[in-house]
Amino acid sequence: MCGIAGWVDLAGLGPDARAIAEKMNDAQVHRGPDGSGVWLSRQAVIAHRRLSVIDIENGEQPMLFPPSGPEARFALSYNGELYNHRELRVELAARGHRFRTSSDTEVVLAAWVEWGVRAVEHFNGIFAFAIWDDQEEKLSLVRDHLGVKPLHYHRDGDRLIFGSEAKAILAHPDVVTSVDEDGLRQLVLPLLKFPGTNPYRGISEVLPGQVLEFSRYGVRTIRYWDVRDFIGRPARADDLDSAVEGLRTLLHDAVARQTIADVPLCTFLSGGLDSSAVTAIANGLPGRTSPVSSFSVDFTDVADSTDSRSALDRRYAREAADHIGSRHANIVLDSHLLASGAVRDATVRARDLPNGFGDLDTSLLLLCRAVREHATVALSGEAADEILGGYLWFQEPRAVEAQTFPWMADSPAHGYLHQRVLSTIDPGLARQLRLDEYLRDEYATAIGGLTFDPAISARERRHREIIHLAITYFLPMLLDRTDRLSMAGGLEVRVPFCDHRIVEHLVTLSRHVHNAGGREKGVLRDAVADLLPPGVLERRKSPYPTTPDPDYSRQLDRQLTEVIADPPDGLADIFAPHVLTPGGLTDAARSHGLVSNFEGEVVLNFASWLRQYTPKLAI
């Protein structure tokens, strides 16, 4: 994986363009510690930071076409992995293209030269890239089908600035670090990522499955893939056996493609169904000569616990690893390090924002750092729950029937997190932001864009609606979290369940096939039944673990006391007076649930963000 950045100024670049581009590159050094490059023309700056995964010796970027000569027409800065680059290389070679490297970057560039914007129709992978056409004076920003890789931009008249992360754009001297009311709404509404937006004023995201073109004619967007095109179709007439076989074939192919790398590769193995399935398939691929390495996360001071989430994960992960035959390691995180201010600051900096999930985020960052000592690429089981309806809020009546995002409904599923964070917000600010109205409008927009075949029943339609909401508002939050924290740890994470072919297959299956045998994700359980031990195969969904160590809560109490005694500018504008009163959050900060210490974590994250980014709050 890599980091991309740059800008186009149709009026022409200034004399300090290269120095600014280097500064933008430096802001994303964590995404590409293995090298950097900057290319300039009269109107465009294309910059790149590289993490070498395929063709380590070659593949430097920006990559140009033609590759030699006084002037290049195309300049490409690419972040991602093209999993079908070998097949495309053969096809493009037959069309006359000649390759100097074995990198997938060169295949992307050749495909663009051959097919233009329609090249994306040939791609299978995770990617975000910028390509400048010096002949047509046009910049194209391209993002993968599900938005696994991030891509942000800021437009100011005849200039468009872009970067993998917002921090690269904010490094440009002409971009102000500012958050307005819309941005604050996004920051204080947990468990949602609003499509195409970013809390920083003037910064947007290229949508998943979208190409954004910028030229003298303005901005044009092209949607080359949209899950809505499949959500509304009638359920396929395939029987369960055909659905299972189709999923099995696609999942094996996706994992096989995603294990191609010129660097050490491993898997995340929590002992849950999804990560165990990916690990089992990866370990059993033809031609593998040694066991795949797998890693799970654990915490200190839980040795005698048998019912914490980390203890359950530890037991199931070991059971899965023993059955699969992977070379497994349990990464044990120390609670003192987990609670340290330095790790919190690094986590907030990695995400660019304060709306994270406390020790769920810090533990993922530390896990990725530890795994990076052994591997550069990791496979994850993420996204299966969103596509297959694996969460409680796909089944619980109150969540299913609620006229809002179901995970934010007043239910035990996740909704209480929504209420807990809103209880910390200053009442005057909450009234000013009109959060309930904002949420209703966003939900209506999300649902209103769907159309369904008339033959789909009301219950099936609602199931499809929730899948759509999960893929477009919930999954992007998780993918962004994983990308930011893994890249901050120098690790590339691949997600086989985000293969767009798997998504297309699964979202057109009926709810009854999804829940075959009366079990959530029943079709997946049947597809991998021969690969996993019974206990893991039948395990119910378990949330990502959180530390049960009471000393972690005590450390947060001390940190909250320090923040309240010396709050950064802006903190009192966001949080209610009782929250910033000594002892006001003591009980809440020690609470344990889906996210432990939640209220205290929110305050500490915002304090870290305000100190590091010093944003202008337009409220």
**Per-residue pLDDT tens over the stretch 460-486:** 999 999 999 999 999 999 999 999 999
pLDDT at 304: 52
pLDDT at 238: 73
Give which of 308, 27, 11 is closest to 163, Cα–Cα: 27
pLDDT tier for residue 414 given thresholds of 50, 70 and 90: low
pLDDT digits (tens, 9 = 90+) for 150-183: 999 999 999 999 999 999 999 999 999 999 999 9
Q: Is the peptide bond before 264 cis (omega within 30 degrees of 0)?
A: no
Residue spans in the chain of domains classed CATH 3.60.20.10: 2-180+197-226
Specify whether 2 is catalytic. Answer: yes
Q: What is the pTM of this model?
A: 0.95
Cβ-proximal residues to 143 (8 Å cutoff; 6+ apart), any chain: 127, 128, 149, 151, 206, 207, 208, 209, 210, 211
**Coil, strand, or helix at residue 28?**
coil
pLDDT at 107: 97
Q: Classify 296 in phi/psi space as left (phi over 0), alpha (psi -120 to 50) or beta.
A: beta
Out of 47-51, 451-455, 594-598, pick the least confident: 594-598
- The yes-or-no verdict on residue 594 having pLDDT over 60 is no
The Cα–Cα gap between 489 and 365 comes to 6
pLDDT tier for residue 60 given thresholds of 50, 70 and 90: confident
Listed in order, strand segments (DSSP E) in 346-391 are 377-379
With pLDDT > 90 as the criterion, what percentage of the chain qualifies? 78
Residue 418 or 248, more confident = 248
pLDDT at 55: 47
Does domain 2-180+197-226 fall into CATH 3.60.20.10? yes
**Average pLDDT for residues 517-539, to the nearest whole number?**
96
With pLDDT > 70 as the criterion, what percentage of the chain qualifies? 93
Out of 381-395, 421-435, 472-486, pick the least confident: 421-435
pLDDT at 287: 85
pLDDT at 2: 85
pLDDT at 237: 72
pLDDT at 34: 80
**Average pLDDT for residues 204-233, to the nearest whole number?**
97
The Cα–Cα gap between 117 and 131 comes to 10
Q: Classify 367 in phi/psi space as left (phi over 0), alpha (psi -120 to 50) or beta.
A: alpha
pLDDT digits (tens, 9 = 90+) for 115-163: 999 999 999 999 999 999 999 999 999 999 999 999 999 999 999 999 9
Q: Select, from the ranges 32-41, 492-501, 574-583, the one with the highest average predicted confidence (pLDDT).
A: 492-501
Residue spans in the chain of domains classed CATH 3.40.50.620: 235-401+474-537
pLDDT digits (tens, 9 = 90+) for 89-99: 999 999 999 99
pLDDT digits (tens, 9 = 90+) for 541-568: 877 778 888 888 889 989 999 999 999 9
The Cα–Cα gap between 503 and 495 comes to 12
In Å, how far are 182, 545, 587 from 593, measured between CA atoms? Answer: 29, 10, 13
Task: Provide the token pair at 473.
Answer: 């508002």
pLDDT at 587: 52
In Å, how far are 72, 249, 517, 532 from 281, measured between CA atoms? Answer: 43, 11, 23, 10
Active-site option among 2, 266, 368, 498: 2
- The yes-or-no verdict on residue 445 having pLDDT over 50 is yes
Task: Provide the token pair at 76.
Answer: 């490409």
- The yes-or-no verdict on residue 209 having pLDDT over 80 is yes
pLDDT at 178: 97
pLDDT at 335: 87
Give which of 389, 382, 381, 380 is closest to 507, Cα–Cα: 389
pLDDT at 488: 95
Mean pLDDT in the chain? 91
pLDDT at 104: 94
- The yes-or-no verdict on residue 578 having pLDDT over 60 is yes
The Cα–Cα gap between 521 and 165 comes to 33
In Å, how far are 373, 427, 555 from 422, measured between CA atoms? Answer: 39, 9, 24
**Average pLDDT for residues 333-360, to the nearest whole number?**
92
**Average pLDDT for residues 241-267, to the nearest whole number?**
95
Q: What is the radius of gyration, based on Cα positions, of the chain?
A: 24
> How does DSSP classify residue 470?
I
pLDDT at 459: 94
**Average pLDDT for residues 5-17, to the nearest whole number?**
96
pLDDT at 589: 46
The Cα–Cα gap between 560 and 602 comes to 10
pLDDT tier for residue 310 given thresholds of 50, 70 and 90: confident
Residue 582 or 491, more confident = 491
The Cα–Cα gap between 295 and 380 comes to 10
Topology of domain 235-401+474-537, per CATH? Rossmann fold (3.40.50)
